Structures are given as C-alpha cells and as structure tokens.
Structure 1
Amino acid sequence: MTSSAWRRRRREPRSSAGENRLWPALAVVVAALAYAVLPESLLVGPRLAIPVVEMVLLGALLATNPRRMVRQTRWSRGASIALACVVIATNLVALGMLVRTLTSSEPGGMPLLLAGMQVWLTNVIGFGLLFWEIDRGGPVARHTVVRNRLAPADWRFSQDENQDAITEVAATSSERSNWRPEFIDYLYVSLTNSSAFSPTDTMPLSGRAKALMGLEATAALLTSLLVVARAVGALGQ
C-alpha cells in the first residue's frame, strides 16, 4: 500500500457496521450480578434496586443499537455514560461500606475475601465501560466518523505509535490499518490499571483520563491492601 493510500484510509471510518454490542452488554450483566450477590451490609437500598436500574438502562441502549453500534443520539450517549457512572458510583459506595465493616468489626475471612473480589471485578468493569464511552467521542463516533473529525483522544494506545516498527508490527498500527480501539482494549486498560495501580502500555493524555485512572487505581489499592490482606489474614486465624 502506498503512502497516499495509507493517508486516504486513515481519513475513512473503520467500518460502517459499527462495534459489536455483545461484549459491553455482557460486562454490564456481570457487574450487575456481582453487585446483586454482595453481602447485605454493602448494598445501597434493596438488593435488586441497583441491578434493575442498570438493566433498564442497558435495555434502552440495546433497543437503540441491538447488535451493532451505528446510531447515537444525545439521549443514548447520556444514558451510556450514566450507566457506567452508576456501576462505578455504587461500587465505590460498596467499597466504603466494606472498609467501614472491616475496621469496625471482626467479619469472617471468606465472606470478606469474596466481597473484596466482587468489588475489585466491578471496579474493572465500571471504569472499562466509562473509558470506552468517553474516548474520542465514544464507540459510535470512533467507528463511523472519519479520523480527522474525531474528538481528541483521551488515551494513546501502542497501535497509535508503532507505524515505524518492523513490517509485521507496523501493519496493525493506527496509521497503516486505520485501527481504532474497541471495548476489549479499554477493559484491558482498566484491568492493568487496577492490577499495577498505574498505566502500563496505554498512556492517559487528558486531565479527565488521568483523574479517572487515578480514582480507579486508588479504589483498587484500597481493595487489595485493606480488604483482601485482612481477609487472607483472617483465614489463617
């Protein structure tokens, strides 16, 4: 492919078919189930209240884009971001309750360990969804808008800078293949940030990206150090 062809392809949207809705929808279902089975002391309101809200929002979004994400309205964009924020906010509240329970009583090790794992998992999913929703105008824009009209990027992926690598690596770069990030890419960013408590191969560029990654890493650190460590210690007693 010539350099002019690369530049022409870079200006074109990746695919008019849009991104598959299945994986982010499954992630929301997993987050709702993880919240629904938390101990009673960590819930906000009735056990199924938050999962029902999440499923209602997901159902509305599925009605807009049931299989491929090709349509976007101001309402659907707001609902998508609201859904991710509900997952994150309720999980942070659950984490706060978990820390309070940990410091004010002597709970059993296994229930605490399981609750900590559920909170950590939901943390990864919630922030992965929000990263996916806000970067470069959102999932619909990333796949339907020409590259030079996309909103500024919040994250820089390795594919965005490997066009000068050896041929087989450069072939998948953003410049040469018109690669654009999908949900799995943001979920991986969230997973590594929650595991390493810092960026790994994907760098935050904007202030909001740095703030969100900092918040996620702090929550993951609290879960790991204050909750899981205490639970493991209680198991040995």
Structure 2
Amino acid sequence: MNERAQSVRDEPRWAPALAILVVLGLLAVLPHHVQVMPVWVSYVVALVVIVPMIVVTLTANTLWMRIERTVIMLLGAAYIANTAAELADMIGIITLHPPETRAVSLLSSSLAIWVTNVLTFSLLYWQIDRDGPSARASGATTKPDWLFPQTAAPEVASPDWQPVFLDYLFLGYNTATAFSPTDVLPLTRRAKMLMMLESTISLLTLVIVAARAVNVIP
C-alpha cells in the first residue's frame, strides 16, 4: 500500500457514515404529508453511498475514493433538493390549512428537516473543501475553501493537523444556528453560496415553521 493510501485511511469513515444513516432515519420518520422522496429511494441511495465508504475504509483504493466523493456529492444535492421541497410543502400546509391539529407534527417535522439540513451540508463541506478528504490527507496543494483557526494559527495545533468530518459538522451546526461564519471563514464563492443556502433553509425552518407550531400548542 502506498504512502498516499495509508495517509487517507488516517480519517475514519464512521462519523460521516453515521451522519448518512441519521439523515436516512429522519427521512423515514417524517410525517407522510411532508415526504417528497419515497422512503425506498432513501434506502437505495444510502446503500449506494455506504458501500464505497466501507470499501475505502478496508482498501483505501483510489478508484473507490473517487466513487465515494461522487456519490456523496450527488447524495448531498439530492437531499438539499428534497429538504427544500419538504420545507415548501410544510409552509404550504401552514398557510393553506388550519394548523391547530398539526402542532406536534409540525414541530417534529421542523426538527427533522433542521437536523437533516445540518448533516447534509456538513457532508458537502467535508467533500468540497480542498477537493475532499482524500486530497487533504495526501497533502495536495489545492487552495482551501474554508480557513480553520488551526491553519491560520499553526502554533496552536499539531504539525500534521487536517480538518476531519467532525470539524465540518461543527461548521454546519454553526451555520445553521448563528446564520453566519463563526470561527471558520469561507474563502471561495462556492463555500459562501453553500453557507447562504444552509442558513436560508435553517432560518425558514426555525422562524416560519417551528415558531408557528409553538404558537398553536394549547
């Protein structure tokens, strides 16, 4: 096994795989009135994504790394479109139908959409920044999409520090709660546009859906 492959295996895949399974579970439990994508499609998509991650973990094969990156990017795009459609459906329910009997359903749906939003964008950030975990672990010189504090101030981090999925999960969580960059700064236009989109979905979910659901609870 070459040095590049060995270095890629330094980042375990259990955290992003768990995130994908959580997203799948949340899509499965959403009330029927906000399900846009059939549940069986979610299962198939998750399986298609998990398999390359398992193979990468076991073999660190370069071809499977590219497959992993492609399917996760496609998964992220599909889940963002699905989440936006679910949110639009919920807003339509609130504005067109009396919500008194749907308070609990709206609250659970808004929470599921919000968590799915955070996890999906975290996966995208993880794969987009410097062309993904494989390129970062190999020491590629691609310019970063986000500037982490450990990179800006290397004296506070270990010499070989590289961001892993949990760092991007923190970025995704902050973007969805603070609606702005916190300790991690976006450097590229695609990074800024993705963070704007995540903040918009989160803002609509929390302000319009969750707030309305709380108001109708007796």
Is TM > 0.5 for Structure 1 vs Structure 2? yes
Match for residue 152 of structure 2?
A: 161
Residue 160 of structure 1 and its aligned partner are, at CA, apart by: 1.0
Partners of 1:33 and 1:51 within 8 A in 2: no
Match for residue 116 of structure 2?
A: 122
Matched to 1:158, the amino acid is: P
Residue 66 of structure 1 and its aligned partner are, at CA, apart by: 3.5
Matches within 5 A, 1:35-184: 35-46=27-38, 48-67=39-58, 70-73=60-63, 74-107=66-99, 108-143=102-137, 145-146=138-139, 149-163=140-154, 170-172=155-157, 177-184=159-166
Match for residue 4 of structure 1?
A: none
Q: Which has the larger radius of gyration?
A: 1
Q: 1:13 to 1:210 in 2, by over 3 A?
A: farther
Between stretches 205-214 and 80-89, larger displacement belongs to 80-89
CA deviation profile, 1:107-129 (whole Å, cap 9, x unmatched): 32111011000000000000000
Residue 79 of structure 1 and its aligned partner are, at CA, apart by: 1.3
Residue 54 of structure 1 and its aligned partner are, at CA, apart by: 2.4
Partners of 2:5 and 2:62 within 8 A in 1: no
TM-score with structure 1 setting the length: 0.82
Paired positions, count: 211
Match for residue 202 of structure 1?
A: 184
Partners of 2:126 and 2:165 within 8 A in 1: yes
Give me the whole-angstrom Cα distance separating, in 2, the residues matched to 1:14 and 1:215: 35
Q: CA RMSD in A?
A: 2.0
Q: 1:222 to 1:156 in 2, by over 3 A?
A: same
Residue 150 of structure 1 and its aligned partner are, at CA, apart by: 2.8
Q: 1:45 to 1:119 in 2, by over 3 A?
A: closer
CA deviation profile, 1:79-103 (whole Å, cap 9, x unmatched): 1211222222211211111111111
Q: Which runs of 5+ in 1 are unaligned?
A: 1-11, 164-169
Q: 1:228 to 1:67 in 2, by over 3 A?
A: farther
Partners of 1:61 and 1:80 within 8 A in 2: no
Partners of 1:154 and 1:209 within 8 A in 2: yes
Give me the whole-angstrom Cα distance separating, in 1, the residues matched to 2:25 and 2:70: 23
Q: 1:16 to 1:222 in 2, by over 3 A?
A: closer
Residue 17 of structure 1 and its aligned partner are, at CA, apart by: 2.9
Matched to 1:37, the amino acid is: V
The correspondence for 1:193, drawn from 175, 178, 186, is 175
Q: 1:134 to 1:71 in 2, by over 3 A?
A: farther
Q: Which runs of 5+ in 2 are unaligned?
A: none
Between stretches 94-103 and 195-204, larger displacement belongs to 94-103
Partners of 1:132 and 1:139 within 8 A in 2: yes
Matched to 2:91, the amino acid is: V
